[in-house]
Amino acid sequence: MFIGTEKLTHTYMPGTPFAMEALKEVSFSLSRGEFALIIGPSGSGKSTLIQHLNGLLKPTSGQVFFEDRAIGSDKTELLKLRRRIGLVFQMPEEQFFSETVFDEVAFAPRNLGLDEEQVRTGVKDALEKVGLDAELLYDRHPFQLSAGQKRLVALAAVLSLNPEVLILDEPTAGLDPAGRRHLFLLLDRLNRDTGLSVLVCTHHLDEAAAFANTVLVLQGGKVILSGPAEEVFAKRDQLYNLGLALPAVTEIMYGLVEKKLPVRTNIYTIDEARKEINKLKGRQE
Ligand SMILES: Nc1ncnc2c1ncn2[C@@H]1O[C@H](COP(=O)(O)OP(=O)(O)O)[C@@H](O)[C@H]1O
Ligand SMILES: [Mg+2]
């Protein structure tokens, strides 16, 4: 198993009247190079689950695996693990603490004790990976940037350590439609071009559906569906009942099928829909 869990259970505030079982025997596994989505309504356990994947939370019972080895509690091992599995929190820019974009992105490489030359290269590479003009932004205050740019700087700060797995918690929260699209296209490119494994938690399928290979659906702390994206998204009614709507464009394709038009329903982008509908025109002419 590249990364995954076995019967992972997590209880917040155990043994108190506030005890809350946020994950219940969650088992899943992902292969290297995948683009996976963890979806589920608010409170279903998504954020709790991903904080286990790089050892920020400890299982109440069960285990977390990385490269076939159970993650333990040895401090040095955990630090190494966090270099290889990067976690981008929800609204990460709220945690910015540096005076300049450069220092913000340089924090992790400096913390590793790299020399300033290596830090400089790391920061430049990371900003370039997210498509930002490094030289132009170095001296800017992070809070002077647009919402989309701040999110990209936060992403660069995690990429500066060259992780093998990138986990993002609701990465498009608070972004406008162009920012959301840009972010997913970027994640898709990083996944394809560099082999980075990507794991995204979200409750919006609109932008995310087109990019996923694998999907894990949580409800009330339990895995209720998982598998290849096509199979999971085919369970439209079940997802709908959880408040997880398929992309609007997919719903339109289902509407056409109901009108007896021969179109595919595994369509998640406007471009794909346009092509499919154009084929239909061809058939009728
Ligand atoms: N620090 C915490 N202390 C107590 N309960 C928590 C804490 N964090 C989350 N929970 C609870 O655990 C459940 C799962 O939360 P979370 O993992 O944040 O879900 P999601 O990310 O899917 O919205 C929710 O019922 C939530 O209220
Ligand atoms: Mg969450």
Instruction: Kindly state whether residue 230 falls inside one of the protein's structural domains.
Output: yes
State the CATH number of the domain containing residue 185. 3.40.50.300
Query: Is residue 43 within 6 Å of ligand 1 at its C-beta?
Result: yes
pLDDT for 112:
86
Report how far residue 46's alpha carbon sits from residue 168's, in angstroms, rounded to the nearest whole number: 11
* Residues 164 and 257 placed together within one structural domain of the fold: no
Query: Is residue 16 within 6 Å of ligand 1 at its C-beta?
Result: no
Question: Which protein residue has the closest C-alpha to ligand 1 atom 20?
Answer: 43
* Residues 277 and 217 placed together within one structural domain of the fold: no
Asked whether the whole model's pTM tops 0.85, one would answer yes
* Residues 23 and 162 placed together within one structural domain of the fold: yes
Task: Pull the structure tokens for residue 166.
Answer: 């990138």
Strands 69-70 and 85-88 come out as unpaired
Query: Is residue 220 within 6 Å of ligand 1 at its C-beta?
Result: no
DSSP 94: G
* Residues 47 and 140 placed together within one structural domain of the fold: yes
pLDDT for 284:
57
pLDDT for 98:
96
* Residues 79 and 198 placed together within one structural domain of the fold: yes
Instruction: Kindly state whether residue 241 falls inside one of the protein's structural domains.
Output: no
Question: Which helix or strand (DSSP H or E) is residue 283 part of?
Answer: helix 270-284
* Residues 26 and 69 placed together within one structural domain of the fold: yes
The count of residues in the chain is 285
Task: Pull the structure tokens for residue 50.
Answer: 């991903």
pLDDT for 56:
95
Instruction: Kindly state whether residue 226 falls inside one of the protein's structural domains.
Output: yes
* Residues 258 and 218 placed together within one structural domain of the fold: no
Instruction: Kindly state whether residue 129 falls inside one of the protein's structural domains.
Output: yes
Where in the sequence is the domain holding 229, given as residue range(s)?
Answer: 3-234
**Burial call 182-198: b when 16+ CB within 10 Å, e when fewer:** bbbebbeebbeeeebbb
* Residues 145 and 82 placed together within one structural domain of the fold: yes
Instruction: Kindly state whether residue 207 falls inside one of the protein's structural domains.
Output: yes
* Residues 226 and 256 placed together within one structural domain of the fold: no
* Residues 190 and 261 placed together within one structural domain of the fold: no
Instruction: Kindly give the number of the ligand 1 atom that is closest to the alpha carbon of 169.
Output: 21
Question: Which protein residue has the closest C-alpha to ligand 1 atom 6?
Answer: 12
* Residues 164 and 281 placed together within one structural domain of the fold: no
Task: Pull the structure tokens for residue 81.
Answer: 């693990």
Count how many domains the chain has. Answer: 2
One digit per residue, the tens of pLDDT, for the chain of length 285 reads 999 999 999 999 999 999 999 999 999 999 999 999 999 999 999 999 999 999 999 999 999 999 999 999 899 999 999 999 999 999 999 999 999 999 999 999 999 888 999 999 999 999 999 999 999 999 999 999 999 999 999 999 999 999 999 999 999 999 999 999 999 999 999 999 999 999 999 988 988 999 999 999 999 999 999 999 999 999 999 999 999 999 999 999 999 999 999 999 999 999 999 999 999 877 655
Question: Which helix or strand (DSSP H or E) is residue 187 part of?
Answer: helix 177-194
* Residues 143 and 213 placed together within one structural domain of the fold: yes
Instruction: Kindly state whether residue 221 falls inside one of the protein's structural domains.
Output: yes
Ligand 1 pocket: which of 8, 11, 20, 170 to mutate (most atoms within 8 A of CB): 20
**Residues having C-beta closer than 5 Å to ion ligand 2:** 46-47
**Burial call 89-115: b when 16+ CB within 10 Å, e when fewer:** bebbbeebeeeebbbbbbbbbbeeebe
Instruction: Kindly state whether residue 259 falls inside one of the protein's structural domains.
Output: yes
Query: Is residue 51 within 6 Å of ligand 1 at its C-beta?
Result: no
Instruction: Kindly state whether residue 197 falls inside one of the protein's structural domains.
Output: yes
Residue 244: CB atoms within 10 A of its CB come to 23
